[in-house]
Amino acid sequence: MGRTDPADSSGETLRGSGAQALRVEGVRKAFGTNEVLRGIDLSVASHEVICLIGASGSGKSTLLRCVNLLERIDAGAIYLDGRPITGPGVNENLVRRQIGIVFQSFNLFPHMTVERNVTLAPVKVLGLSRAEAAAQAAVLLDRFGLAEKRADYPDRLSGGQQQRVAIVRALAMRPRLMLLDEVTSALDPELVSEVLDVIRELAEGGMTMLIATHEMGFARDIASRVCFLADGQIIEQAPPAQLFSQPADERTQRFLRRIVDAGRL
Amino acid sequence: MADGLPDLSARRSRLLGTGERRGLAVSSASTVIVLAALVLLFLLAPGSRAVRHTFFNPADMWRAFVGDPAKGYYSVGEAIWLNIRMFVVAEILILILALVVAVVRQSTGPALLPLRVVSTVYVDVCRGVPLILLIFAIGFGAPALSLRFISSQSAAVYGVAALVISYSAYVSEVYRAGINSVHRSQVAAARSLGLTEGAAMRHVILPQAVRTIIPPLLNDFISLQKDTALVGVLGSIEANKAAELFSDTTFNYSSYVVAAILFLLLTIPLARFTDHLIARDRARRLAGAGQ
């Protein structure tokens, strides 16, 4: 695999329009002696929705944090739209404004209203005027049923509402790619669906997404491709129908059997 | 006895159903009784007369308050203004310098390493050296340098410089504790949106940090208000020095009581204000958690 031209349409994608949005090549990452990623290769086409599944500790979250440059990779390379975003001379702030990430624990800014949470980065990073940013925020908040929460502080919102605000906050930067890191894991069960609905709507709108999730049913519905991770490697990747019904690798089979036994698929 | 009364009044108000007014009356009465007892005890104690004459003589207190330069002593009431001015100027400079030191110490960029080392050494040294030593060293040392600008300042300026140097080291640690109290995930959230390290610090970390450190910060400033009295050792006529000159001249020490009362008038409101902020913060947090 060499460098890719952004216009190059190589891909066995289902929904992708062809152009490669993200490519991860041989990425390794260790925390001390604990090697969390051991050579990850993955490419994501525009408009593709990739779900990463696997047990806790398999490296899903670390991979997302590496793509967002919140963690520095030890080896390998990552390309966004064909341009390398790892290695020397990369302006990580420029990269990050094109990649939105939503965290398991929401991480809204507690000292700011919902509107300020959503407009902070567009104003400070993209240089929008406050009025422009507020208008854009109003449209997004309205679209996701949060219009009435505009002036509230995060601690007055439910978990589901907070997570939807966090998604809107990332969307307000008009990212090229969205990374979702187990965004429903911290939610009460009855609040999960409102967040999944938002993600579904984004997928229908053509947003390119890389999603780490424990929600297998959701992954089956939404993903163009599902990647199973174990021990810091992608063991198997396939369209969800195939991966969930005929997993090829023995480890994937074992993982899915446990999920089924737990009644979660 | 004073402890038992409010309990009793609470029980009684429940019994009689007359509510708060009765409780208030009982607690006022008990307060008056206790205070009266203390005053009586003071008046009847052996040596009370001498103590009252030396420390609480109203005529001498008034004389110390208004001062009489012709007789060799200055007004304590006027001198306290110097303490207030020193306090206000020092406080502003401390807030700025301490913030700079704290942010530098928290920075992660490799290019800032020398500054990190300098600020760490500064905090270690200036927290470890007695304030009075700094005041002497700067107040008497700077004029001895015979440098044009530095050596020609007033004693109050040297005193403020020493206060700023010493207190900024403490206050920078308060800032740093506040910065560290903000969860790392907040930094991740800010940086993931493309904010620079500086912008994340300014818009996300510091506003949250400052909220938690206001009470300890005000506590340090109460201490600073009192420590302005130390500058008197350089000969500045601040309240404590004025009181000392009065007692040197008249052999009466009521001037110190006057100075003490004036200091209390400054520090107690600040202490109550601190309590108020803590209570308000707690109420707000409870309200937030209740949702």
Q: A117 to chain B nearest CA, in Å?
A: 10
pLDDT value for B260: 93
In single-letter form, the type of residue at position B187 comes to V
CATH number of the domain enclosing A65? 3.40.50.300
> Where would I find the beta strands (DSSP E) of A9-96?
20-31, 34-45, 49-53, 75-80, 83-84
Pair B213, B174: CB distance under 8 Å: yes
- Strand order of the sheet with strand A209-212? A99-102, A177-181, A209-212, A49-53, A225-230, A233-238
Residue B224 near residue B171, CB atoms below 8 Å: no
Chain B residue numbers with beta carbons less than 8 Å from the beta carbon of A156 are: 288, 291
B189 lies within 8 A of chain A by CB: yes
Residue span of the structural domain in which A60 resides: 20-261
> Which residue ranges make up each domain of chain B?
4-62, 73-290
CA dist B123 → A57, B172, B200, B225 (Å): 41, 8, 25, 21
The reply to whether A237 falls in a domain is yes
Per-position pLDDT tens, chain B of length 291: 444 444 554 555 455 556 678 888 899 999 999 999 999 998 888 888 888 888 988 888 999 898 888 888 889 999 999 999 999 999 999 999 999 999 999 888 788 899 999 999 999 999 999 999 999 999 999 888 888 888 888 899 999 999 999 999 999 999 999 999 999 999 999 999 999 988 999 999 999 998 889 888 988 999 999 999 999 999 889 999 999 999 998 898 999 999 999 999 998 998 898 888 888 877 776 665 443
Q: Does B284 touch chain A (CB under 8 A)?
A: no
* Per-residue model confidence as pLDDT tens digits over B255-287: 999 999 999 999 899 889 888 888 887 777 666
Q: What is the ipTM of this complex?
A: 0.86
List chain A residues with CB under 8 Å of B185.
Answer: 103, 105, 107
d(CA A223, CA A241): 10
Which chain B residues in 199-258 lie under 8 Å from chain A, judged by CB atoms? 199, 203-204, 207-208, 211
Answer yes or no: do B289 and A170 touch at CB < 8 A. no
Q: Chain B closest CA to A264's CA: distance in Å?
A: 29
| Cβ <8 Å between B195 and A68 | no
Contacts of B190 in chain A (CB under 8 A): 109
Buried b (16+ CB within 10 A) or exposed e, A178-196: bbbbbbbeebeeebbebbb
Residue in B184, B127, B132, B182 with CA at minimum distance from that of residue B162: B132
First to last CA, chain B: 42
All residues at 6 or more sequence positions from B16 whose CB lies less than 8 Å from its CB, including other chains: B22
What are A240's two structure tokens? 């969800």
Q: Do B195 and A170 touch (CB under 8 A)?
A: no
Phi, psi of A132 (to 5 degrees): -60, -45
Given a cut of 50, the residues of chain A with pLDDT beneath it are 1-16
Q: How far is CA B62 from CA B43, B261, B285, in A?
A: 21, 13, 48
E strand intervals along B215-260: none
Would you say residue A220 lies in a domain?
yes
Cβ distance A109 to B190 less than 8 Å, yes or no, reads yes
- Residue numbers in A near B196 (CB within 8 A): 93
Report the distance separating Cα A119 and Cα A116, nearest Å. Answer: 5
Report the residue from B189, B195, B207 with minimal CB separation from A107: B189
Write phi, then psi, for A152 (nearest 5 degrees). -85, 155
* Class level of CATH domain B73-290: mainly alpha
Minimum-distance CB partner of B185 among A94, A105, A169 = A105
Q: Does residue A112 belong to any structural domain of this protein?
A: yes
Q: Which helix (H) or strand (E) segment is B99 a member of?
A: helix B76-106
Residue A144 within any structural domain of the chain: yes
Q: How many domains does chain A have?
A: 1
Flag whether residue B190 sits within 8 Å of chain A, measured between CB atoms. Answer: yes
* Interchain contact, B291 vs A153, CB within 8 Å: no
In this prediction, residue B279 carries a pLDDT of 84
* A43: β partners: A23
Provide the whole-model pTM.
0.77
